[in-house]
Amino acid sequence: MVLSNLANYNLLNRLKALQSSIRVAIVGIGSMGKGLFYQCQITPGIECVAMADIKVERAINSAVWMKRDYRVVDNLGAMEETIRNGAIAICEDGDLAAKCELVDVLIESSNSIGAAGQFSVTALEHGKHLVLMNAEADLIFGPYLMDLAQSNGSIYTSCDGDQYGVIKHLIDDLQLWGFELVMAGNIKGFLDRYSNPTKIIPEADKRNLDYHMATAYTDGTKLCIEMALVSNASGLATLVPGMQGPRASHVRDVFHLFDFDRLWQDKQPFVDYILGAEPGGGVFTVGYCDDDYQKSMLSYYKMGEGPFYLFYRPYHLCHIEAMACLAKAFLDRDSLLQPIYGFRTNVYAYAKRDLRQGEKLDGIGGYTCYGLIENLTHGTDHPGLPICLTEEVTLKRNVSRDEKIFFSDIQYDPDRLDFVLYDESVKSSMARRP
């Protein structure tokens, strides 16, 4: 923790010392994008110069809220003129912001998948650094975006602040300290695989959340996507499809819920979660150290007798924590998290209810399917239909509730952008396999 605080202190001073601010464009001004815009406003050395949202009034309202001058634009010339005049350029088309020469870093924080992939590709092809606060696009297109960033001399990174980014910090810390990574874990409050946008309305309204987004949180799809991102960045596996997710009262219960002596025999670290435990909103890792000296000192430091040790953080703060990874991408060409192991895992679609031939799937957080994280084996690039590709595809057969859905079960347009980018990601992933 001292190292992290010192690093952030030094980063803050470096940002304050910049002669020119890091110019940021944000695509997607929903609840997360609004928070990212706010954080840009209060962080020294970082300036939001453009916002894009298909509901342009959301970007306008955010600019007014922060008392920023703005102009709605629909072409690059007007965008660049607006930025040079010190106002925020607002547009509907994220591609416009991704192409703008006066933007250094693009943050993609929309709820889209295919469109987010397009904006991300455009940004990287135009020499921007890319920060994804969009876990779905991050997972399904990540291997290709990583290769594209490298070929264009840019940095692509998952955003800090969400669970997977915070978990990555814990992983980096324990490995720096000399521990072997055994487990990366999430703490989930509630799970209902069969939740849908109608059932979730009361809870979503309490939290001012989009109904589909709230459904994806509740049915476990979002959790699986987040842990797949961790897996693909750090070489972890899942013990079973969807993970085990035992119920617990506190994160310290992991030592009673997981048989680490047995699970660590093959030295394969894994991802999982616990359900209903304190601290709510926290994340954790388990590390291994069997050195006698270190074990004696760790016992003195109240960490237990070992050789397995728990490290946890009781919170994640989403947009509030996001600026550090943006600054490090620009200043240090450093990526917090990216899929260096390719598709070690992915998240595949399962039926939420009995589905009929001819029905259209309605994507993440909908009425038709939920997603479970699964391991990929060598040479297997399509073991199921990724949940991130389930928007507006048609079933070719009946599928029973809780049955896995495969590519062969759907009619789809292989030339649709999200499928094209996914195919590129599969190629990138296969090239990374040892």
d(CA 195, CA 378): 34
Its pTM stands at 0.96
pLDDT average, residue stretch 122-129: 98
In the predicted structure, residue 407 carries a pLDDT above the cut 80: yes
Q: Residue 201's pLDDT band (boundaries 50, 70, 90)?
A: very high
- In the predicted structure, residue 342 carries a pLDDT above the cut 50: yes
**What are 188's strand-pairing partners?**
275
Q: Determine contact, residues 16/45, Cβ cutoff 8 Å.
A: yes
pLDDT digits (tens, 9 = 90+) for 207-235: 888 899 999 999 999 999 999 999 999 99
pLDDT at 25: 99
**Any idea which of 197-211, 234-248, 274-288, 297-311 has the lowest mean pLDDT?**
197-211
How high is the pLDDT of residue 57?
98
Q: Residue 2: pLDDT band by 50, 70, 90 thresholds?
A: very low
% of the chain exceeding 90 in pLDDT:
94
Q: What is the pLDDT of residue 1?
A: 35
User: What tokens does 45 get?
Assistant: 């050395």
Distance, CA of 415 to CA of 420 (rounded, Å): 6
Examine the pLDDT at 432 and tell me if it is beyond 90: no
Residue 208: the pLDDT is 82
Residue 9 pLDDT greater than 70, yes or no: no
Q: Which residue has the tokens 């342009």?
A: 56
Q: What is the mean pLDDT of residues 46-55?
A: 98
276, with CB counted inside 10 A (0-12, 13-18, 19+), is middle
In which band, very low, low, confident or very high, does the pLDDT at 383 lie, cut at 50, 70 and 90? confident
- Residue 387 φ/ψ, nearest 5 degrees: -60, -25
240-245-250-256 Cα dihedral, nearest 10 degrees: -40
**Residue 301, pLDDT above cutoff 80:** yes
Catalogue all structural domains in the chain, each as residue range(s) with its CATH number. Answer: 2-161+320-332 (3.40.50.720), 163-317 (no CATH), 345-432 (3.90.1210.10)
Contact call for residues 344 and 232 (beta carbons, < 8 A): yes
* Tokens coding 84: 């040079």
Which pLDDT value is given to residue 319?
97
In this prediction, residues 318-347 reach a mean pLDDT of 97
What average pLDDT does this structure show over 273-295? 98
* Phi and psi torsions of 135, nearest 5°: -65, -35
Q: Does position 315 have pLDDT exceeding 90, yes or no?
A: yes
Average pLDDT of the segment spanning 73-86: 98
Percent of the chain with pLDDT over 70: 96
Nearest to 25 by CA among 128, 124, 151: 128
Q: Is the pLDDT of residue 85 over 50?
A: yes
Q: Tell me, what's the pLDDT at 209?
A: 86
Q: Mean of the pLDDT values across residues 380-397?
A: 89
Report the distance separating Cα 46 and Cα 40, nearest Å.
Answer: 6
> What pLDDT, on the 0 to 100 scale, is given for residue 3?
45
What's the pLDDT band for 380 if we cut at 50, 70, 90? low
pLDDT of residue 377: 74
pLDDT at 378: 55
Residue 77 clears pLDDT 70, i.e. is over it: yes
